[in-house]
């Protein structure tokens, strides 16, 4: 389990519309247009990239009704544009009408490592409001290193099964060595299988790919909806190309100013908040497997279940037994969307009776493991991007042991596991190229930043911070549960975002919805 893996939307995995690492908001007139201010100029094509910006996309039928696909060439290394190149997969569904076409709307579901094309074809181009789909070509590009775009590979499927079962709450020196060795094997596997692309999957490079795609689509401005990690990608784009910002929605916002250790600790607290909300709902029900007395008692019972599984994994009907690590991942997966809470209650009750199949199923959805035992490259790309974007949270086991009390304070239930999960970049073969930094994007058109008050994966204070950093940021708040807000059942949120995307009219700064 990598806590920063959680920065994504898990619509496909959990079968819900939005399933999947403090400042004051910047003020903007509520009726401001999304066109860039007159002072913001669109820079020319970067030197050396003319052949890339001048390429023509050759659209073809995808084999999925209504969708076209194409391949975009990009430099492997933007510092050496005449060197090796990579292929990036692109898909679109053209505007259906009626109404005048606004342009292309690029979507990204987060991760890092989530397939934007799968998200487009499986949800966005079908589930986004009809008026938005009518006036935008819906477009996605799998980021470099992800899915169809030169995917990072690290472990075989059987090796990945073993990796997901490693004890992430080590109790002694031998278990600490085992966990550290697992991270080291994962990293060396990535270097062995994907060493060429590994240094070139940063968020900055992906943002530059997005600008190239914008140009190839014929759009002067980039219109974009990014969820979870996709908000960091969108904010990075705005920082690099403020004059090319069109209508940007950053839903489930990340805070780019945070170092890794603080990001992981904040997210630990976010999952604790989400669990408390789940527990408060659960204990009201007569069949709650965590008791019917209090959230504190529910937390105690869940910790006891984890401890029991640590000592004695249980059967699942699969060749794998349910370990503490798999059970923890299964519970975390259900925190992304309150519609998964009934499934979690059933899975916990079954686990207490010796049947681990329900929690294993939730865990598999988190890791994108298919019934035939194959894995998507989500977790490989996730680590590759995260470990490149920021210096590691911890460099050795001693660092983690010193940090554990702070993580357990943030979450008595998940803290210890989350602290040890943050050791995953310690052995990474490629040095980080990014650092924590504020993004102001001065001169950019108004940007809508969306935060959910009990979001487990991207805590609400991150949205407050990002909206405050962006010179044109406007904060839109959803008071509720789950990860992200757009398209998850709030008419207030959906209306505000639809109006912005279709008319360029911002919600009032600080607007709150429930």
Give the catalytic positions in this structure: 228, 455, 483
CA 169 to chain centre: 24
| Two tokens, residue 370 | 């298919």
Coil, strand or helix at 258: coil
For tokens 């080590």, name the residue. Answer: 170
| Two tokens, residue 252 | 């489930």
Under 8 Å between Cβ of 139 and 149 = no
- Per-residue buried b or exposed e for 364-376, using 16+ beta carbons within 10 Å of the residue's own CB: bbbbbbeeeeebb
For tokens 């893996």, name the residue. Answer: 5
Coil, strand or helix at 60: strand
Burial label, 54 (beta-carbon count in 10 A; 0-12, 13-18, 19+): exposed
Q: How many residues comprise the chain?
A: 514
Strand partners for 12: none
Q: DSSP letter at 98? A: S
Backbone dihedral region of 482: left (phi > 0), alpha (psi from -120 to 50 degrees) or beta? left
CA distances 103 to 5, 55, 443, Å, are 31, 19, 21
């Amino acid at each position: 389990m990598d806590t920063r893996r959680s920065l994504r939307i898990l619509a496909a995995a959990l079968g819900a519309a939005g399933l999947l690492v403090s400042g004051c908001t910047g003020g903007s007139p509520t009726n401001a247009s999304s066109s860039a201010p007159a002072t913001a100029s669109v820079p020319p094509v970067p030197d050396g990239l003319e052949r890339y910006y001048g390429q023509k996309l050759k659209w073809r039928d995808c084999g999925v009704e209504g969708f076209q696909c194409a391949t975009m060439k990009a430099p492997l290394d933007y510092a050496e544009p005449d060197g090796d190149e990579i292929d990036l997969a692109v898909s679109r569904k053209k505007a259906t009408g009626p109404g005048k076409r606004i342009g292309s709307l690029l979507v990204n579901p987060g991760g890092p490592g989530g397939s934007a094309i799968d998200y487009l074809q499986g949800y966005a181009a079908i589930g986004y409001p009809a008026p938005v789909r009518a006036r935008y070509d819906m477009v996605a590009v799998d980021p470099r290193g992800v899915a169809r775009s030169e995917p990072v590979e690290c472990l075989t499927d059987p090796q990945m099964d073993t990796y997901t079962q490693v004890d992430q709450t080590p109790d002694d020196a031998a278990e600490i060595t085992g966990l550290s060795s697992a991270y080291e094997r994962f990293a060396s596997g990535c270097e062995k299988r994907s060493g060429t692309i590994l240094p070139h999957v940063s968020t900055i490079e992906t943002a530059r790919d997005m600008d190239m795609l914008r140009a190839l689509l014929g759009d002067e401005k980039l219109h974009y909806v990014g969820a979870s990690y996709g908000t960091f990608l969108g904010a990075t784009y705005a920082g690099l190309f403020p004059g090319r910002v069109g209508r940007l929605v950053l839903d489930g916002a990340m805070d780019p100013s945070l170092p890794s250790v603080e990001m992981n600790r904040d997210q630990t607290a976010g999952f604790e908040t989400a669990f408390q909300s789940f527990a408060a709902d659960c204990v009201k029900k007569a069949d709650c497997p965590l008791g019917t007395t209090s959230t504190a008692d529910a937390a105690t019972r869940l910790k006891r279940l984890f401890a029991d599984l640590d000592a004695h994994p249980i059967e699942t009907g699969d060749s794998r037994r349910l370990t503490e690590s798999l059970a923890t991942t299964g519970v975390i997966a259900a925190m992304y969307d309150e519609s998964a809470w009934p499934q979690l209650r059933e899975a916990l009750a079954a686990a207490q009776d010796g049947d681990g199949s329900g929690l294993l199923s939730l865990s598999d959805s988190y890791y994108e493991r298919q019934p035939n035992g194959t894995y998507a490259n989500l977790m490989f790309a996730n680590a590759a991007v995260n470990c490149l974007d920021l210096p590691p949270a911890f460099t050795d086991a001693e660092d983690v042991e010193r940090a554990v009390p702070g993580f357990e304070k943030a979450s008595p239930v998940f803290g210890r596991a989350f602290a040890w999960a943050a050791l995953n970049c310690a052995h990474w073969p490629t040095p980080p190229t990014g650092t924590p930094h504020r993004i102001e994007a001065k001169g950019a058109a108004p940007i809508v930043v969306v935060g959910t008050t009990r979001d487990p994966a991207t805590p609400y204070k991150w949205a407050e911070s990002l909206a405050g950093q962006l010179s044109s940021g406007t904060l839109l708040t959803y008071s509720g549960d789950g990860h992200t807000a757009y398209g998850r059942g709030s008419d207030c949120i959906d209306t505000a975002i639809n109006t912005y995307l279709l008319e360029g009219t911002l919600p009032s700064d600080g607007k709150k919805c429930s």
